[in-house]
Amino acid sequence: MSESANPTKATQDERIEFAPDASSQSVPAQGEPQRNGQKKDKALELIEDIGHSTILTPENNKRVLRKIDLRLLPILLGIYFLQQLDKSTLSYGSVFGLIKDANLKGQEYSWLGSSIYLVQLVAQPVVAYTLVKIRLGKFLAVMVFFWGISLACMTAAKTFGGLLACRIFLGLFEAGIPPAFIAITQMWYRRREQPMRLSSWYAMNGVVNMFGSLLAFGLGHINSSLAPYQIIFLFFGCLTVAFSFAVLFYLPDSPMQSKFLNEEDKLLAIERLRMNQQGIETHEWKWAHVKEAFLDPKSFFWFALMFSISIPSGGITTFGPLIIESFGFDQLNTMLFNMPFGAIQLVATLGGAWLATRYKTKGAVVALLCLPAIAGCVMLLQIPRGDSHKGPLLAGYYIISVYPGITPMIYSWAAGNTAGETKKKVINGILLVGQCAGNVVGPNLYTTDEAPGYRRGLLSNLAMFCVLVVLVALNMLYITYLNKQHEKRRVAMGKSAKIVDRSMQAVGEPEEMDKGEAGETMNEDNSFKDLTDFENEDFVFVY
pLDDT confidence of residue 12: 31
pLDDT at residue 56, rounded to an integer = 80
Would you list the domain boundaries of the chain? 58-275+287-483
* Residue 176 contacts residue 125 (beta carbons within 8 Å): no
Say if residue 284 is exposed, middle or buried (CB neighbours under 10 Å; 0-12, 13-18, 19+): middle
Give the per-residue pLDDT at 359. Answer: 87
Contacts of range 154-163, beta carbons closer than 8 Å, 24 or more positions apart? 154/89, 154/233, 154/237, 155/226, 155/230, 155/233, 155/234, 155/237, 157/102, 158/101, 158/102, 159/102, 159/103, 160/102, 160/103, 160/104, 160/108, 160/112, 163/102, 163/112
Q: Is 146 exposed, middle or buried (0-12, 13-18, 19+ CB in 10 A)?
A: middle
CB 55 within 8 A of CB 23: yes
Rg (CA), the chain: 24
pLDDT at 47: 74
**What three-state secondary structure class fits 522?**
strand
Determine phi and psi for 6, rounding to 5 degrees: -110, 100
What does the alpha-carbon distance between residue 245 and residue 241 come to, in Å, rounded to a whole number? 7
Residue of 205, 461, 236, 199 whose CA lies nearest to 342: 205
Query: In tens digits, what is the pLDDT along the chain, a chain of 543 residues?
Result: 444 333 333 333 332 233 333 333 333 333 333 444 456 667 777 777 777 777 888 888 899 999 999 999 999 999 989 988 887 788 778 777 888 888 888 778 878 877 887 888 888 888 888 888 888 899 999 999 999 999 999 998 888 899 999 999 998 998 888 889 888 988 899 888 888 988 888 888 778 877 777 787 788 778 888 888 888 889 999 999 999 999 999 999 888 888 898 888 888 888 888 877 776 777 788 888 999 999 999 999 999 999 999 998 877 776 777 777 777 777 667 767 777 877 888 899 999 999 998 888 999 999 999 999 999 989 888 888 777 777 888 888 888 888 989 999 999 999 889 988 889 889 988 998 898 888 778 877 877 677 777 788 889 999 999 999 999 999 999 999 999 999 998 888 888 888 776 767 666 555 443 343 333 333 346 677 778 888 888 888 998
pLDDT of residue 23: 35
Q: How far is CA 498 from CA 490, 523, 528, in A?
A: 9, 18, 21
Q: Is the pTM for the entire model greater than 0.85? A: no
Q: Counting Cβ atoms within 10 Å, is residue 10 exposed (0-12), middle (13-18) or buried (19+)?
A: middle
- Return the amino acid letter for 90: L
One DSSP character per residue, 32-84 reads: PPPGGGPPPPHHHHHHHHHT------HHHHHHHHHHHHHHHHHHHHHHHHHHH
Domain 58-275+287-483 belongs to what topology?
A: Growth Hormone; Chain: A; (1.20.1250)
d(CA 345, CA 520): 46
Element holding 306 (H helix, E strand): helix 297-325
Looking at residue 203, its pLDDT comes to: 85
Q: Quote the pLDDT of residue 92.
A: 78
